[in-house]
């Protein structure tokens, strides 16, 4: 199948953000007197946005006393330290550039807060339209961000594909009525993607191209 529109997840698909997310989680937990979490615990909590991530790290989840304050401080600290160790996965910048040179439409659709997503995209993938979580847009796996991105690109669902690394991404594509390409290099791996129903899974950016 040849596609002309590519919608990419960000964390675990385009960018390896795990170290900086873990640092933000642990800074916030320590600030409020909670124990630190390992990088693997943070990895398992990723995919459903900042609120679900922090809730998974706290003993009482979203019912934790002062959870709104915890989220405020987490978002502020991460926004200021989102690019300490974060970097693109091998071959990803070249992949996006090649797709654009071929005349394909490309956008990023992320459960990362919109401001942080746009800041990282502008640094690593300048000019690529980016859509993150906001109060007006339900987070994935709701398809709203996908439809918003397609509208902004002036593209329809025909010829479009969604690319991601997690079960959330597979479900997002399903909810939007799009085919999905899973990337095995991300936070979940090939086995989890296959179990979620991804029929096409690639191991490198070159293979995706």
Q: What's 183's domain CATH number?
A: 3.40.50.1000
- In this prediction, residue 50 carries a pLDDT of 87
Catalytic residue among 9, 16, 20, 169: 9
> Beta strands of the chain (E only): which ranges?
5-8, 15-16, 87-88, 105-113, 130-133, 160-164, 180-183, 200-202
The answer to whether 146 and 172 have CB atoms below 8 angstroms apart is yes
Give the structural domain span for 123: 5-16+87-208
CA distance 109 to 149: 7
- In this prediction, residue 34 carries a pLDDT of 97
pLDDT digits (tens, 9 = 90+) for 100-159: 999 999 999 999 888 889 999 999 999 999 999 888 888 899 999 999 999 999 999 999
Confidence of residue 24 (pLDDT cuts 50, 70, 90): very high
Shared domain for 75 and 94, answered yes or no, is no
User: If we measure between CA atoms, which residue out of 163, 209, 160 comes closest to residue 182?
Assistant: 163
Shared domain for 57 and 24, answered yes or no, is yes
CATH number at residue 30: 1.10.150
- In this prediction, residue 136 carries a pLDDT of 81
Shared domain for 9 and 68, answered yes or no, is no
CA distance 48 to 140: 7
Confidence of residue 87 (pLDDT cuts 50, 70, 90): very high
CA distance 41 to 72: 21
Q: What is the mean pLDDT of the chain?
A: 94
pLDDT digits (tens, 9 = 90+) for 158-192: 999 999 999 999 999 999 999 999 999 999 999 99
Shared domain for 53 and 92, answered yes or no, is no
CA distance 13 to 185: 8
Catalytic status, residue 165: no
- In this prediction, residue 138 carries a pLDDT of 87
User: If we measure between CA atoms, which residue out of 29, 21, 14, 120 comes closest to residue 70?
Assistant: 29
Shared domain for 105 and 162, answered yes or no, is yes
β-strand partners of 6: 106, 161
The answer to whether 52 and 3 have CB atoms below 8 angstroms apart is no
- In this prediction, residue 133 carries a pLDDT of 86
ω into 141 cis (within 30 of 0): yes
What letter does residue 138 receive in the DSSP assignment?
P
What is the percentage of the chain residues whose pLDDT exceeds 70?
100
Number of domains in the chain: 2
Strand 87-88, strand 15-16: pairing: antiparallel
Distance of CA 144 to the CA centre of its chain: 15
- In this prediction, residue 47 carries a pLDDT of 78
Class of residue 203 by CB neighbours under 10 A (exposed 0-12, middle 13-18, buried 19+): exposed
> Who contacts 122 (Cβ-Cβ below 8 Å, separation ≥6)?
130
Shared domain for 110 and 43, answered yes or no, is no
Looking at the predicted structure, is the pLDDT value of residue 1 above 90? no
Shared domain for 101 and 33, answered yes or no, is no
Shared domain for 157 and 199, answered yes or no, is yes
Shared domain for 170 and 184, answered yes or no, is yes
């Amino acid at each position: 199948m040849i596609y002309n529109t590519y919608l990419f997840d960000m964390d675990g698909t385009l960018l390896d953000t795990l170290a900086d997310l873990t640092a933000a989680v642990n800074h916030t937990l320590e600030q409020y007197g909670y124990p630190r979490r390992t990088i693997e615990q943070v990895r398992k909590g990723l995919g459903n946005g900042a609120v679900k991530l922090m809730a998974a790290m706290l003993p009482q989840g979203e019912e934790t006393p002062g959870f709104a304050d915890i989220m405020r401080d987490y978002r502020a600290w991460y926004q200021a330290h989102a690019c300490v160790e974060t970097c693109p996965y091998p071959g990803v910048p070249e992949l996006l550039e090649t797709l654009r040179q071929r005349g394909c439409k490309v956008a990023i659709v992320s459960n990362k807060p919109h401001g942080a997503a746009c800041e990282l995209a502008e640094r690593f993938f300048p000019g690529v339209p980016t859509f993150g979580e906001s109060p007006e847009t339900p987070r994935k796996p709701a398809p709203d961000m996908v439809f918003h991105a397609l509208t902004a690109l002036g593209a329809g669902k025909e010829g479009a594909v969604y690319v991601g690394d997690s079960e959330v991404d597979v479900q997002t594509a399903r909810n939007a009525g799009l085919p999905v390409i899973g990337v095995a290099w991300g936070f979940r791996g090939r086995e989890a993607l296959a179990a979620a129903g991804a029929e096409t899974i690639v191991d490198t950016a070159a293979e995706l191209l």
